Amino acid sequence: MRRGSRVGRGPGLRGLWGPGVILALFATLTPLSSTAEATEPLPLTQYFDNTAISDDTLPGAADFDGSGASLSSQDLTAAGWTRGRALTVQGARLTWPCRNPGEPDNVRAAGQPVRVRGEGDALAFLVAATGGSEVSGAGTVSYADGTESSYRLTAPDWRTGPLGTKAVALPHVNTPTGQLAEKARLYVVTVPIARGHEVESVRLPYAADLHVFALSVRPDTAAWTGSWAAPTSTYATVGPWTDRTLRLVVHSSAGGPRVRVRFDNTFASAPVRIGSATVAVQSAGATASGTPVPLTFGGAAGVELPAGAQAFSDPLDFAVPADTNLLVSFHLPGTVTAAPLHRLAQQRSYVSEPGDHTADGSPTPYTSTLTTWPLLTGIDVGDGPGSVVVLGDSITDGERSTLDTNRRWPDVLADRLRAQSAVPQYGVLNQGIAANRILTDRYPGDGVSTDSGGVSALHRLDRDILAQTSARTAIVFQGVNDLRTGASAGDVIAGLRELAERVRARGVRVLVATIGPCGGEARCTSVVDGQRAAVNTWIREEAVSDGGFEGVVDFDAALRDPAQPTRLLAAYDSGDHLHPGDAGLAALAGAVQLGALVP
């Protein structure tokens, strides 16, 4: 697509934030000003001055946007966003206001000093803008040691903002004259803070029409290393599953003495209940090696995930071996007809006959298979050096690799890391989505869909890189799908620049890979190849010096046929002239200089 037809694409990072703002996002510490000390910070709820939520029977009791429109209390309840409920989104725990419909439930940002305590890697804000477009403003963070840092907060509009980045979308907008069948959005936005410094208070921006419902410090994940992850690529029809147990097979990269798992209800409109869950090492197929060990959630056997929210299991003393298949089993006691999932697992998993079979080590109850990963998005292990996160498309996702063999190139990269001691043996988190693009959404970001290409890299960046456990370095390997569908080299380069700026602003090292050859594939025309060459020239010559990246991985050079450089080497070609086979994927992993992964 050309620039004018991008789905949900707002102005680029530079256009949004203006000159000099990126420097502020590094949370550079400065002495606390006397002005900031003058006003005693108060809890956010004491500043609430706007009413966003109305009962459907009394829609005139709230006025979120100044025109009488509001959020539906019934819609929020149906989504699981009930009064006073703690919600975890992007690793941050936020509390939905404990207010009745028609009572003040949010604050319009006007420089208020808010009491917020904690130490971590980011501030998380539950926000929305009113007025028809996104709203941005600068604020400050004050620390217990007398220093402060600045941040910039951008809130998308509650009726026009991108669905691909929303925390939750509600099906209606209430107005004094009736209910509109129009999506209302709420967003969780994170901004960086100074690590190792305890936050004492936050001064909100001065920004008309920027509404804050909740905020918190997102805790650092230094005690954990991400061992496995899979991004949500769509919200799709499943089953239906009623009183079934899913036993998902996943492959660890790093090992450790403790484990926790993460479930995400991304893109959902309704809660989903997990009745119980276990973890085990796989023996073969659905057979566990030993008795599966129960997981708990806040001490309980199960957990309900509100729409758009996630849940981490409690830390469990369970030795996770590196380079090993695990079985994560969870019981769905209700009826599930649609679920967030990662479509291209390249791994067979299992569905049981009716009943809770999470504790059963036998394969007998597991009578059917699936090749997607529903709901499960991450496995972390205790301790370790942190993780490398790979943002990619189908080549990273393992398209055309051999089923059940873990030969995706990030898997092979993890093998290389474990086999050496010169650099830390990082976990490797594969955030590839088949058909994904940098610039445009394939999955529209809301509702049940048959398109599993995910939202754009720009829309999923915060969730799939910045919120990943102990991310130390990111590798970005995307762009071929944008070019094959009409984007120009300039568009792709602009998208890559934005990705680099946003990742580096969080203190994560970021590398970029050249785009591999695809000559002979139907949509990889000579025009597309010319655009690909232009992107690769920019990556090799300018991505580090002028593009914000800290290193380059030359995947084009690793894959191309020297005699026909627009085509894959025959030994690496899976047969479709676009996707490398197992040998080509191994060549990609071999092209990564391990020393470049060290921040």
pLDDT tens digits, 463-486? 999 999 999 999 999 999 999 999
Question: pLDDT class for 13, splitting at 50, 70, 90?
Answer: very low
Q: Which tokens go with 472?
A: 């130390």
Percentage of the chain with pLDDT > 70?
94
153 beta partners: 137
Q: What share of the chain is helix, strand, coil (3-state, %, to 5)?
A: 20, 40, 45
Q: Rounded distance, CA 551 to CA 513, Å?
A: 9
Q: How many CA atoms lie within 13 A of 50 on its CB side?
A: 26
pLDDT for 18 equals 34
Chain centroid to Cα 57, Å, comes to 36
pLDDT interval class at 39 (50, 70, 90): confident
Distance between CA atoms of residues 236 and 291, nearest Å: 32
**Burial level of 537, CB count in 10 A (0-12/13-18/19+)?**
middle
pLDDT tens digits for range 212-248? 999 999 999 999 999 999 999 999 999 999 999 999 9
- The pLDDT tens digits of the residues spanning 456-469 come to 999 999 999 999 99
Predicted pLDDT of residue 30: 60
The single-letter code of the amino acid at 482 is D
Q: Each residue of 48-104: pLDDT tens digit?
A: 999 999 999 999 999 999 999 999 999 999 999 999 999 999 999 999 999 999 999
Q: How many whole angstroms separate alpha carbon 560 and alpha carbon 574?
A: 13
* pLDDT for res 31: 55
pTM of the model: 0.94
Query: Which CATH number applies to 385-599?
Result: 3.40.50.1110
What is the per-residue pLDDT for 33? Answer: 41
Cβ 428 vs Cβ 417: under 8 Å: yes
Whether 406 has a pLDDT exceeding 50, the answer reads yes
pLDDT for the residue numbered 21: 34
Question: Taking the CB of residue 533, how many other CB atoms lie within 10 A of it?
Answer: 17
Mean pLDDT for the chain overall = 94
- Band (pLDDT 50/70/90 cuts) for residue 27 is low
Confidence of residue 436 (pLDDT cuts 50, 70, 90): very high
Handedness of CA 404, 409, 414, 418 (dihedral sign): positive
Q: Is the peptide bond before 565 cis (omega within 30 degrees of 0)?
A: no
Distance CA 251, CA 230 (A): 11
550-585 per-position pLDDT tens digit: 999 999 999 999 999 999 999 999 999 999 999 999
In tens, the pLDDT along 109-139 reads 999 999 999 999 999 999 999 999 999 999 9
Residue 140, SS3? strand
Asked if residue 544 has pLDDT above 60, the reply is: yes
Confidence of residue 178 (pLDDT cuts 50, 70, 90): very high
**Closest C-alpha among 349, 346, 460 to residue 397:** 346
Cα–Cα distance, 74 to 51 (Å, whole number): 15
Instruction: Give the tokens for residue 144.
Output: 């217990």
- For 2, 9, 247, 579, the CA distances from 170, given in Å and listed in that order, are 30, 21, 31, 39
- DSSP readout, 178-205? EEE---EEEEEEEEE--TTS-EEEEEPP
Give the angle 137-138-139 at the CA atoms, nearest 5°.
125
Q: Using DSSP, state whether 258 is helix, strand or coil.
A: strand
276 Cβ contact list (under 8 Å, min separation 6): 294, 295, 301, 302, 330, 331, 356, 358, 359
Q: What is the mean pLDDT of residues 394-418?
A: 98
pLDDT digits (tens, 9 = 90+) for 255-307: 999 999 999 999 999 999 999 999 999 999 999 999 999 999 999 999 999 99
In contact, 533 and 515? CB cutoff 8 Å: no
- Three-state SS string over 451-508 comes to CCCCCCHHHHHHHHHHCCCCEEEEEEECCHHHHHCCCCHHHHHHHHHHHHHHHHCCCC
